[in-house]
Amino acid sequence: MSAVSIRDLKFRYHDDGPLILDISSFDVQTGEKVFLLGPSGSGKSTFLEVVSGVLPAKAGKLEVCGHDLTKKSAHERDVLRGSHIGYIFQSFNLVPYLSVQENIELPLLLNQERARRLKKDRVTEMKRLADHLEIGPYLTRPVSQLSVGQQQRVAACRALLGSPELILADEPTSALDQEVREKFIRLLFECCDETKAAVLFVSHDRTLIPLFDREFALPKRGGEGW
């Protein structure tokens, strides 16, 4: 089973708005790591949001982890995302008043299916992953007291815990310098290899391409962008 399977997907924000996405065929296999690139405004973020079900796909076929998203309600997509997808946002989207640990555990607490996939108990798994991502010492701190790089690893840890089949990452490294960036991606991949998670990674930084199995470019749409 492939992690993502797309045929003739079209997306517009409004019915009479411009066509943002028009993808005839795109597949991501289990465990495959794909680098998504394209000029600014080409729809990379929109693409991830459609794949994750944040935005509704109305036309074409979009299958994620064996579920056809075009036929699901907003709530069903929320549940599907919670249990099968780890999403690392460009702005991390951590809950500011929760501690590091509480943020990381949030998807597990909200999705029973994801919690069931844990091999050991929640806290042990969480600690192991946090140590691996080198945020073990900060678990009880409020996230607002962390550096950007640390926050980003918290976001990654949250996305990875509970072994989702698909990891989506939207420019999570833009705030980091080159060296830390590569280290982060290697760490991320190590974790994904353990659970055979597929990765769909958006970045402007072409120097990262060699780290991935494959790249996929979104065409710049006429007149759009900047």
Q: Residue numbers of the site for ligand ATP (CB under 6 A)?
A: 13, 20, 38, 40-46, 224
Q: Which partner from the list ligand ATP, other proteins, Mg ion, none does 109 bind, CB cut-off 5 to 8 Å by kind?
A: other proteins
Q: Find residue 141's DSSP bridge partners.
A: none
DSSP letter string, 112-123: HHHHHT-SS-HH
Minimum CB separation from other proteins for residue 76, in Å? 9
Q: Which tokens in the block code for residue 125?
A: 């798994």
Q: Which partner from the list other proteins, Mg ion, ligand ATP, none does 150 bind, CB cut-off 5 to 8 Å by kind?
A: none
Q: Does 106 bind other proteins (CB under 8 A)?
A: yes
Minimum CB separation from ligand ATP for residue 4, in Å? 17
Residues 29, 206: Cα–Cα separation, whole Å: 22
Window 53 to 82, contacts with other proteins (CB under 8 A)? 54-55, 74-75, 78-79, 81-82
H runs (alpha helix) in the chain: 44-51, 74-84, 100-110, 112-116, 122-132, 148-160, 178-195
Minimum CB separation from ligand ATP for residue 155, in Å? 17
Q: Does 125 bind other proteins (CB under 8 A)?
A: no
Q: Which tokens in the block code for residue 68?
A: 């056809």
